A and B are shown apart, each in its own frame.
Chain A
């Protein structure tokens, strides 16, 4: 093995223990070897830095990619649909315009951030439920989540079950599920408290709505900070 190969193999971590010891010894005793080693290492590190920078840029581009844009557009669409549904309720049930309008102006569909629907392997089990959810087929999503919840206690799935109910304006049923979730600490605790608050707003139970918002404040939650503040002031 030439000196150059020895150095490369050392850096690539593919030397035997004996050869590693040999390099360590040379580094302490042979200044010419040490210089060559340092020069090689500088090149390796320089490439690592440069590669890391370009990967970081690539990831940032990916995050801005069309997928996210699509999600943004569909969120607006959901918001528009939800607003229309809520307005429909207003005319049908003569409920207070202020609570309905308030609800409609703050409500948006909770996006699926739990499980990407195009993934492979172990994630396929829950796929049908999340595919339906992402496509806005909340009745199908409700049934699929219900089936899944027969065999698991996963609170994240229960959260999306509750969201499927809420997105169909099944407020009381959704509230029941959110209240169960609010007893525990899980990945979507903040979201669950937020939607509970909105349902209370819808039901004109402003004290309970405020209580949920206060719970979020007490947790120093960073979820929907601006909206929470604005809603609290509106109540």
Chain B
């Protein structure tokens, strides 16, 4: 907020210049890193909160942290649809939620892992392997009529890989959704 008429001074304050905060739609994707107590029902409380308030979860991953009593949730939400401040404030009200950080895109390392099962027999196989190389992906299973490829990276990289590989015959695909951590020394 631009502070007009600094509080505690005789400087006059014009009501017109006061600006409202909150309720703003940022229009971008937000990655929320949530640390919560590792207790029964916590996932359900978080998911239930999103359902009740009408917030849409784009992706959600849950896993342990270095502290067995604490779980890490990485949640992506569309800031064009929902006021993020309201999402995080409501999350903060959950007694089991310890910490929430709305990760800034430029200081965030976010990674997704995907497994692709591709129909790659005969001549196509060489081409598939070339693409796998370019994306620094790995072939983790091979049969006569298919390969399974493991790719890690940013969401965009995996999307791009999917586009490249799809014409060869994508049999099925599984993705984890993003996990994220802030760059640098600071903790989430």
A and B are interacting partners: no
Give me the interface of B with A, judged by CB distance under 8 Å. Answer: none
Give me the interface of A with B, judged by CB distance under 8 Å. Answer: none
